[in-house]
Amino acid sequence: MTTATLAGPLGRAESSGVASEFTGTWRLLRLYLRRDRIVLPLWVILLSLPLGSVYVKSTEKVYSSPDQLAHFAHTVNTSPAQLAMYGPVYNTTSGAAAGLWKAGMFFTIIGIATILTVIRHTRAEEETGREELLASTRLGRLSNLTAALLVSCIGALATGLLAVVSIKGAGVDAHGALAFGLALAGSGMVFAAVGAVAAQLSASARTARGVAFAVLAVTYVLRAVGDARAADGPADPLSWLSPQGWSIQVRALSGDHWWILLLHVVTTVVLIGVAYSLLRRRDVGAGLIAERPGAPVASEVLSGPLGLAWRLQRGTLVAWAVGLGLYGLVIGSVVNGIANEVGGSKAVADIIARMGGASALEDAFITTAFTLLGLAAAAYAISATLRLNSEESADRAEIVLTGAVGRIRWVASHLVFALLGPVVLLLISGVLAGLAYGIAAHDVGGKLPRVLGAALVQLPAVWLFTGAAVLLFGVLPRWASVAWGVFTAGVALFLLGSIAGMPQWVLDIDPYSHLPKLPAEPFTWTPVLILLVIAAALIASGLYAFRRRDLR
């Protein structure tokens, strides 16, 4: 046939070939836009409109003279901790450029938004069986993935364009504003494509999100380590292995390197092509990583809920342990002597001396690095907690609870991993980082405890996010995935709150702002105990609500 004949509520061509594979895409796109009518505009606005009104204008007010700007840029470019967090400052004469430097974390946050959007509309739909139901209405094989990618890319482009309007409205050169907006959109599109590939690998949406977030974390670490190593010098090769690094290297208002945007485009196109190819090779509802058939008879380990939880959680825990262990190893290998890598000029030496010396600089770098590690551990804790929700949604929880297993016992079997799993992750990462740092400094006995303390002090904040996820699961199971929104808001508050001019009471919501800044500051018990009490209260409330409500 040469013409398409639409049939069914979503429509599908009766013809064969490429066109039929995409049939129904536009109607699915309308459906997904309707489903995301609240969440999509929210993250688009939050990642765009504050750029001009908050970041650019507030920075221009603080650094109003050329001398202030030059001093600010030099301080940042000789501080590995600042470079690891946001990247270098390339323009030492523009307050607007300094403001956009502070918004460099947006290149990572938009990746979180697009990954969640793509996997929500692809793998999560397959896991619940809704995509198979829609496919029965004559839907093209590639239409669902295409619609999900279009929603994410439309959101990324809208974010970039609104960012251009916001930055231009603050009186910034139009070319520089456009360069930043396109770099922001490009980063979002690349990670939307990463999410599309991850969605083809496993039959579980949790695993797909874990894979995609692992890629996001690795690219961020590559960029952070590369920028820290290249302090006050040319870009390090590690920075060129990261999409976030590409966006920073566009250098908005600092030369506007337009050609770098081609890296975003090419990578996005290649990854989408890979996702389409993988989708054609697998069955609906299945992943390319095939699930192994179980044994004819269950082992003794599976005789109780804890053993079953271990069987369900172990793969995710091992994957996170490997990823965060490598992160710790990288951090520990670069922190020693980092003060020597920021340059040998007298001005740099004076700055380091004012900060407390090389040791204080290394402590500040460790504090920043392990706070980011704490955020990653919180993401694992939320994922482990929400396994409860996915088990209930798939009706597997009802089967377990019909036996001699109480509700609290069943929930506790998974909370063991949500609470103790982060301990394992932080211990592994802290030990590896401390050993690498201590061996390089020839002082394992002195460095290892300091680094391990910086890792383990993150636990109260991690458990607070666990408590929020348990509370949502117990009270509002349909909205349990909002726990990821709580986590994203926490990340935004930690990374952006202090430089966005938010009121102090808003900044105080961020649990990481209350933790002792080990090893740079002495340990204090009060904030740790308060966070632990709040986390325990959230978990207890969630358990109480789950006992009283009906299963979904």
328 shares its domain with 274: no
Same domain, 276 and 144: yes
CA dihedral sign of residues 457, 459, 461, 464: negative
CA distance 228 to 38: 38
pLDDT of residue 528: 93
> pLDDT of 520-550, one tens digit each?
788 899 999 999 999 999 999 999 999 999 8
Cα 333 to Cα 329: distance, rounded to the nearest angstrom: 6
Q: What is the pLDDT of residue 347?
A: 47
Q: What is the mean pLDDT of residues 190-212?
A: 89
Domains: count for the chain: 2
pLDDT, residue 339, reads: 53
Contact 220, 379 (CB under 8 A): no
Instruction: Work out the pLDDT band at 218, boundaries 50, 70, 90.
Output: confident
The reply to whether 310 and 163 lie within a common domain is: no
On the question of pLDDT at 116 being above 80, the answer is yes
pLDDT at residue 16 tops 70: no
Look up residue 370 and give its DSSP letter.
H
Q: What is the mean pLDDT of residues 37-61?
A: 81
For residue 13, the model assigns a pLDDT of 40
Residue-wise pLDDT for 123-169, tens only, equals 888 877 777 777 777 778 889 999 999 999 999 999 999 999 999 88
Could you tell me the pLDDT band of residue 502, with boundaries at 50, 70 and 90? low
Average pLDDT over residues 295-300: 72
Instruction: Say if CB 472 and CB 539 are below 8 A apart.
Output: no
Residue 354's pLDDT is: 47
Residues 174 and 255 in one domain: yes
Sort 86 into a burial class: Cβ within 10 Å, 0-12 / 13-18 / 19+: buried
Considering only residues 244 and 344, tell me which one the structure prediction assigns the higher pLDDT.
244
Q: pLDDT digits over 329-380, tens only? A: 878 877 775 555 444 444 444 544 444 445 667 787 788 888 888 988 999 9
pLDDT class for 418, splitting at 50, 70, 90?
very high
Residues 99 and 208 in one domain: yes
Q: Which segment of 17-21, 281-285, 514-518 scores lowest on mean pLDDT?
A: 17-21
Same domain assignment for residues 330 and 390: yes
Decide if pLDDT at 10 tops 50: no
The predicted pLDDT at position 495 comes to: 66
Residue 346: predicted pLDDT? 46
Kindly state whether residues 215 and 356 are assigned to the same domain. Answer: no
Q: Quick one: DSSP state of residue 447?
A: H
Domain region containing 281: 20-285
Kindly state whether residues 433 and 460 are assigned to the same domain.
yes
Same domain membership, residue 219 and residue 316 = no
Question: Is residue 47 scored above 70 in pLDDT?
Answer: yes
Write the single-letter amino acid at 392.
E
77 belongs to a structural domain = yes
Which of 255, 285, 315 is at the close of a domain? 285
How much is the pLDDT for 386? Answer: 92
Is residue 295, in this structure, part of any structural domain at all?
no
- Top-confidence residue, 518 or 299: 518
How many angstroms separate the CA atoms of 530 and 220, rounded?
31
- pTM for this structure? 0.71
- Examine the domain organization and report whether 268 and 392 are in the same domain: no
Closest-CA residue to 280 (of 380, 200, 168)? 200
Verify that 105 and 230 share a domain, yes or no. yes
Q: Is residue 452 part of a domain?
A: yes
In this predicted structure, what is the pLDDT of residue 8? 43
Other Cβ atoms closer than 10 A to 63: 19
Say if residue 473's pLDDT is above 90. Answer: yes
Is the residue at 188 inside a domain? yes
Does 93 fall in a domain?
yes
Q: Say what the pLDDT of residue 492 is.
A: 73
Mean pLDDT (whole number) for 213-238? 80
| CA-based nearest residue to 186, from 110, 254, 239 | 110
CA distances from 25 to 40, 198, 357, 381, 466 (A): 19, 20, 59, 35, 37
6, part of any domain: no
Lowest mean pLDDT among 245-259, 295-309, 437-451: 295-309
pLDDT above 70 as % of the chain:
88
Tell me if 8 is assigned to some domain: no
Residue 10 within any structural domain of the chain: no
Quickly list DSSP for 451-463: HHHHHHTTHHHHH
Question: Lowest mean pLDDT: which of 83-92, 400-409, 413-422, 516-525?
Answer: 83-92
Average pLDDT for 103-129: 88
Q: What is the mean pLDDT of the chain?
A: 83
Q: Are residues 104 and 242 in the same domain?
A: yes
Task: Report how far residue 353's alpha carbon sits from residue 356's, in angstroms, rounded to the nearest whole number.
Answer: 5
pLDDT at position 233 is 62
pLDDT in the model for residue 501: 58
pLDDT of residue 243 exceeding 80: yes
- Of 514, 81, 11, which is closest to residue 339 (Cα–Cα)? 81
